[in-house]
A and B are shown apart, each in its own frame.
Chain A
């Protein structure tokens, strides 16, 4: 049997890749995809711990995380569409109206 720590380690690696994606990429959609990657890394950790403790609660939390991710993706993409209509770009470096 693969120990729980291996799954959590894999989850940490995926999370780190997601963080790199958010910080390094400037395309808003790819940043969004990296956020979804981070959420899924957390899901993996939850399911691994749920199996470790033989409690279904972990999977229920994953259910909620998925629904929250769905709502967030819908609204976020709508925002991206609205921004694109005005500025014709979704490059985070060029959307700097609110910067000091």
Chain B
């Protein structure tokens, strides 16, 4: 049962990821990525990561992708007729990526049983991946990183405003 669902959703996810890369229209590309992110959130729920799944939808699919759409609309980007990749480039990229994927899959098949930890078969402890568990870790063990991330956000906001400002006069 789990396998069927996994391959179904995984196939959809790969299809929409290919849609991101292959579509010529930027808006359709962005929407394909939104679908991919949504499916990823579903996978996160399968992996008992409820809080991260909700964050994925609220932050990634709901805010970051909206900013992408905003920029595309602001600049009124249409299909670009001048965009072309040299054929040799395409061949080498595709070849390199396939080699990478095949190597990783082979490694996983060979070393899959050597992964440390209890494994997927054992049930997760109660409250695993809930907002309490993640929040507790964030505010106790990773507090410094959390605060630095806050500073990073501030720098990002200021940087974005300064860079996109229209110089008057």
| Complex contact flag A–B (Cβ < 8 Å) | yes
Residues of chain A whose beta carbon lies under 8 Å from any beta carbon of chain B: 1-10, 12-14, 16-21, 23-27, 29-30, 32-34, 36-37, 40, 43-44, 47-57, 59-60, 62-64, 66-75, 77-82, 84-85, 90-91, 93-94
Report how far A52 CA is from B112 CA in the complex, Å. Answer: 12
A14 with B14: CB separation less than 8 A = yes
* In the complex with contacts A17-B18, A25-B21, A33-B29 CB distance below 8 A: yes
Residues of chain B whose beta carbon lies under 8 Å from any beta carbon of chain A: 2-3, 6, 10, 13-14, 17-18, 20-21, 26, 29-30, 33, 36-37, 40, 43-44, 46-49, 51-52, 55-56, 59-60, 63-64, 67-68, 71-72, 74-75, 77, 80, 82-85, 89-90, 93-94, 97-98, 100-101, 104-105, 108-109, 112, 115-122, 124-125, 128-129, 133-134, 137-138, 142, 145, 149, 152-153, 155-157, 159-164, 166
- Which chain A residues border B83 with CB–CB below 8 Å? 25-27, 91, 93
Main secondary structure of the interface of A (DSSP, over half): helix
